[in-house]
A and B are shown apart, each in its own frame.
Chain A
Amino acid sequence: MWEDIKEFASTFFVTGDPLIYGADVSIVLTILAIVFVLTKYKKWGWLWREWLTTVDHKRIGIMYLISSLLMLFRGGVDALLMRLQLAFPNLEFLHADHYNAIFTTHGTIMILFMAMPMMFGLFNMVVPLQIGARDVAFPFLNALSFWLFFLGAMLFNLSFVIGGSPDAGWLSYPPLSQNDFSPGPGQNFWIWGIQISGIGSLATGINFIVTILKMRAPGMTLSKMPLFSWSVLSSSIMIIFAFPILTVTIALLFLDRFAGAHFFTMDGGGNPMMYLNLIWMWGHPEVYIVVVPAFGIFSEVVATFSRKRIFGYKSMVWAMMVIAIASFFTWAHHFFTMGTSASVIAFFAISTMVIAIPTGVKVFNWLFTMFRGRISFKQPMLWTIAFIPCFLVGGATGVMLAVAPADYQYHNSYFLIAHFHQVLIGGVVFGYLAGIYYWWPKLFGFKLDEKLGRWGFWFWNIGFYICFMPQYALGFMGMTRRYYTYGWDRGWEDLNLVSTVGAFMMGIGFIFQVWQITYSIKHGERDTTGDPWDARTLEWSIPSPAPFYNFATVPQVKEADDWWATKQAKANGTYKPEPVHLEPIHMPKNSGIPIVMSTFWFLIGFGLTFGWVWMAVIGFIGVAVCMWVRSFQYDTDYYVPVDEVRRTEASLGRVL
Chain B
Amino acid sequence: MANHHDHSHGHDHHEEHEQLKVLGFWIFVVTDCILFGTLFATYAVMMNSFAGGPTGKELFEMPGIIASTFILLTSSFTSGLAVLAMNKGKVNELIAWLAVTAALGLAFVVLEVNEFTHLVHEGATMATSGYWSSFFTLVGTHGLHVSIGLFWMVGLMMQLKRRGITAVTRRKITNLSLYWHFLDVVWIFLFTVVYLMGVM
Binding site for B on A (CB under 8 A): 137-138, 141, 202, 205-207, 209-210, 213-215, 240-241, 243-245, 247-249, 251-252, 255-256, 259-263, 265, 267-271, 274, 278, 583-584, 586, 624, 628, 631-632, 634, 637, 639
Contacts and interface: CB of A to CB of B under 8 A. Distances in A.
A144 to B, nearest CB: 13
B188 interface: no
B196 interface: no
A624 B134 contact: no
Contact of B32 (A209, A244, A628): A244
B50 interface: yes
Contacts of A632: 155, 158-159
Given A241-B34, A268-B127, A268-B129, A263 B6 contact: no
B34 to A, nearest CB: 4
Interface in B2-18: 5-6, 9-10, 13
Interface string B142-176: 00000000011001101100010000100010000
Given A244-B34, A259-B127, A268-B130, A584 B155 contact: no
Given A261-B133, A261-B137, A624-B151, 5 more contacts: A141-B24, A240-B30, A244-B34, A262-B129, A631-B155
Contacts of B32: 244
Nearest to B34: A244
> Which 5 pairs from chain A and chain B are nearest by CB?
A269-B49, A269-B130, A260-B127, A261-B133, A269-B51
Nearest to A282: B38
Given A244-B32, A269-B51, A278-B38, A138 B6 contact: no
B126 interface: yes
Contact of A584 (B9, B23, B24, B46): B9
B27 A210 contact: yes
Nearest to B30: A240
A340 to B, nearest CB: 14
A584 B168 contact: no
Given A269-B51, A639-B10, A244 B38 contact: yes
B34 A267 contact: no
A528 to B, nearest CB: 33
Contact of B38 (A249, A261, A637): A249
Given A255-B133, A268-B127, A268-B129, A240 B10 contact: no
A214 B86 CA distance: 26
A178 to B, nearest CB: 13
B185 interface: no
Interface string B122-137: 0000111111011011
Interface residues of B, number: 44
B28 A274 contact: no
B45 A274 contact: yes
B49 A270 contact: yes
A583 B9 contact: yes
Contacts of B49: 262, 268-271
29 contacts: A137-B24, A209-B27, A210-B20, A240-B27, A241-B30, A255-B133, A256-B133, A260-B126, A260-B127, A261-B133, A261-B136, A261-B137, A262-B133, A263-B46, A263-B133, A263-B134, A263-B137, A268-B129, A268-B133, A269-B50, A269-B51, A269-B130, A269-B131, A271-B45, A271-B130, A631-B152, A631-B159, A634-B163, A634-B168
Dominant SS among interface residues on chain B: helix
B39 interface: yes
B127 A248 contact: no
B24 A248 contact: no
B31 A244 contact: yes
A638 to B, nearest CB: 10
A248 B126 contact: no
A634 B168 CA distance: 8
Given A259-B127, A262-B129, A263-B133, A138 B24 contact: yes
Nearest to A209: B27
B69 interface: no
Nearest to A274: B45
Contact of A262 (B6, B130, B152): B130
A247 B32 CA distance: 11
Contact of B13 (A259, A265, A586): A586
A265 B130 CA distance: 9
B74 interface: no
Interface string B171-191: 010000000000000000000
Given A262-B49, A274-B42, A583-B9, A269 B129 contact: yes
Contacts of B13: 586, 637
A261 B131 CA distance: 10
A163 to B, nearest CB: 24
Contact of B20 (A214, A244, A271, A278): A214
B39 A248 contact: yes
B35 interface: yes
Given A202-B31, A269-B46, A634-B163, A262 B127 contact: yes
B141 to A, nearest CB: 9
A326 to B, nearest CB: 18
Nearest to B20: A137
Contact of B155 (A241, A262, A583, A628): A628
A270 B128 CA distance: 11
Contacts of A639: 6, 10
A556 B129 CA distance: 61
Contacts of A205: 31
B127 A138 contact: no
A252 B42 contact: yes
B118 interface: no
B24 A207 contact: yes
Contacts of A207: 24
Nearest to A248: B38
A252 B141 CA distance: 12
A138 B18 CA distance: 11
A652 B23 CA distance: 36
B126 A584 contact: no
A255 to B, nearest CB: 6
A624 B30 CA distance: 23
Contacts of B57: none
B90 interface: no
Contacts of A215: 20
A243 B27 CA distance: 13
B20 A247 contact: no
A270 B27 CA distance: 32
A206 B34 CA distance: 14
Contacts of B130: 262-263, 265, 268-271
Contacts of A137: 20, 24
Contact of A210 (B23, B30, B38, B159): B23
Given A138-B24, A249-B38, A632-B155, A240 B127 contact: no
A259 B27 CA distance: 31
Q: Which of B51, B130, B156 has the most CB of A within 10 A?
A: B130
Nearest to B130: A269
Contacts of A634: 163, 168
Contacts of A586: 9-10, 13
B52 to A, nearest CB: 9
